[in-house]
Amino acid sequence: MPLGDLERDRMNLCDIKTVKQIMAMFHLTFHKEFGQNFLTDRMVVEDIAEECCADPDSTILEIGPGIGTLTYELALRRREVISLEIDRGLIPVLQYTLGEFDNVRVINEDVMQTDLEALLRPYFEKGSVSVCANLPYYITTPILMKLFESGLPFEYITVMIQAEVADRLCAVAGSKDYGAITAVLAYYGEAEKLFTVPADRFVPAPKVNSTVIRIRLYHEKPCRPKDEKLLFRTIKAAFGQRRKTLANVLGTGFSELSREQINEAIALCGHRADIRGEKLDIAQFTALSDVLYGMLNS
Ligand code: SAM
């Protein structure tokens, strides 16, 4: 491999010129369809690696290492790093940029196809596992849902995502950004915004700013619905048509119940008849789904 005048020891993966030089050296172009916007702000990369979890002894699952910028800082700070990268072309780059580490395992795989349980079981046996990633924006929500639904007891999920999506995920009930995904996330854990990163800190620069959020997953969920699927169905129905009353949207989403039953369920939960679904927090959705469960199973 002709390395040109780039020496690994002096390599600064946050330097835009170096990133472009590495891509050229391996005859690669940035794949827009894979959401390839690589971070070039050293402080941001270090902060993410620092803040992603408290325990230096933990294993980190990274999704989309790119050329290894964040991976490098994670490898310096954590016991082990498992990185899943969909783009086969980046694998030789990662072997090159991360060659000095024996605690990094790079796997050429689409995270959506990965059996996370099988992959991570040995690491959970050794200690805590957290997720840390600068996520590809085209697939943020499906990746988060896959992580939640895996049921794996991750300690933290720290991800860089579009600022607008972060606003939605961290919104409080009743606010303009609050949506079904906010309520679903609140079922699995507690999200907080860490910091916002301007678009010009990436190469190539995306069109929007990004925000790093950290989700602390509940190991004991505070809300325990009688039927989890019914809870999600209730949330989905409640956000089906914004600006309509909860009674109206539940009438559409639960056509097997009469309008009187729906009104009764809303009243039994202590809500006004004209309340809108977006006012309910996850505990109130859980209570409502439990009342609906009783009606559907009586
Ligand atoms: N971590 C690097 C950084 O911060 O500079 C790159 C982040 S870039 C926003 C997203 C990365 O995710 C790219 O390397 C892309 O190829 C990879 N990627 C996209 N879709 C993926 C998928 N389904 N599974 C695994 N990796 C994926």
| CATH number of domain containing 113 | 3.40.50.150
The response to whether residue 116 sits with its C-beta less than 6 Å from ligand 1 reads: no
d(CA 99, CA 118): 26
**What's the rounded Cα separation, in Å, for the pair 182 and 70?**
27
112 lines ligand 1 (CB under 6 A): yes
Whether 62 shows a pLDDT value over 60: the answer reads yes
176 and 260, same structural domain? no
pLDDT 10s digits, 286-297: 999 999 999 999
Q: Which of 73, 131, 125 is nearest to 103 (CA)?
A: 73
Q: Ligand 1 centroid to 29 CA: how many Å?
A: 14
Q: Is 163 in the same domain as 287?
A: no
198 and 122 in one domain? yes
30 within 8 A of 202, measured Cβ to Cβ: no
CATH number at residue 255: 1.10.8.100
Residues 214-241 pLDDT 10s:
999 999 999 999 999 999 999 999 999 8
Ligand 1 near 73 CB (within 6 A): no
Taking Cα atoms as reference points, which of 106, 105, 69 lies closest to residue 85? 106
24: domain range?
A: 4-217
Confidence band for 11, pLDDT divided at 50, 70 and 90: confident
pLDDT of residue 189: 98
Rounded-to-integer distance, Cα 282 and Cα 182, Å: 9
- Å from CA of 65 to ligand 1 middle: 6
Residues 162 and 72 in one domain: yes
Ligand 1 pocket residue status of 68, Cβ below 6 Å: no
Q: 23 and 130 share a domain? A: yes
- Residues 116 and 210 both lie in one domain: yes
Model confidence, pTM? 0.95
Domain identity same for 42 and 159:
yes
Q: Is 110 in the pocket of ligand 1 (CB under 6 A)?
A: yes
How is the beta sheet containing 104-108 ordered, strand by strand?
104-108, 80-85, 59-63, 129-134, 156-162, 210-217, 189-197
19 Cβ inside 6 Å of ligand 1: no
Q: Quick one: which atom of ligand 1 is closest to the CA of 143?
A: 23
Residue 111 Cβ inside 6 Å of ligand 1? The answer reads yes
Give the residue, by CA position, lying nearest to ligand 1 atom 17: 64
Task: Annotate the chain with DSSP letters as a single string.
Answer: ---TT--GGG--TT-HHHHHHHHHHTT----GGGT--EE--HHHHHHHHHHT-S-TT-EEEEE--TTTHHHHHHHHHSSEEEEEE--GGGHHHHHHHTTT-SSEEEEE--GGG--HHHHHHHHHHHS-EEEEEE--GGGHHHHHHHHHHT----SEEEEEEEHHHHHHHTPPTTSTT--HHHHHHHHHEEEEEEEEE-GGGEES--SS-EEEEEEEE-SS-S---S-HHHHHHHHHHHTTSTTSBHHHHHHHHTTTS-HHHHHHHHHHTT--TT-BGGG--HHHHHHHHHHHHHHHT-
Residue range 106-161, pLDDT digits in tens? 999 999 999 999 999 999 999 999 999 999 999 999 999 999 999 999 999 999 99
What does the pLDDT read at residue 54?
A: 83
Give the confidence band of 2 by pLDDT, cuts at 50, 70, 90: very low
Q: pLDDT at residue 285 above 80?
A: yes
Q: Of 144, 286, 216, 203, give the one whose Cα is nearest residue 13.
A: 203
* pLDDT tens by residue, 70-96: 999 999 999 999 999 999 999 999 999
Residue ending a domain, among 194, 217, 240, is: 217
Estimate to the nearest angstrom the gap between the alpha carbon of 251 and the chain centroid.
32
Give the count of domains, the chain: 2
Helices 228-238 and 246-253 cross at an angle (nearest 10°) of 120
How far, in Å, is the centroid of ligand 1 from the Cα of 251? 41
235 and 209 housed in the same domain: no
C-alpha of residue 36 to centroid of ligand 1, in Å: 6
The predicted structure's pLDDT at residue 9: 55
Same domain, 53 and 127: yes
72 lines ligand 1 (CB under 6 A): no
Alpha carbon nearest to ligand 1 atom 8, residue: 36
Nearest atom of ligand 1 to the alpha carbon of 64: 12
Residue 223 placed within a domain: no
Q: Are residues 210 and 248 in the same domain?
A: no
Domain assignment present for residue 222? The answer is: no
User: Across residues 53-65, what is the average pLDDT?
Assistant: 93
Instruction: Flag whether 110 is in a domain.
Output: yes
- Average pLDDT over the chain, rounded to an integer: 95
Compute, in angstroms, the gap from residue 203 CA to the centroid of ligand 1.
13
Are 195 and 233 in the same domain? no
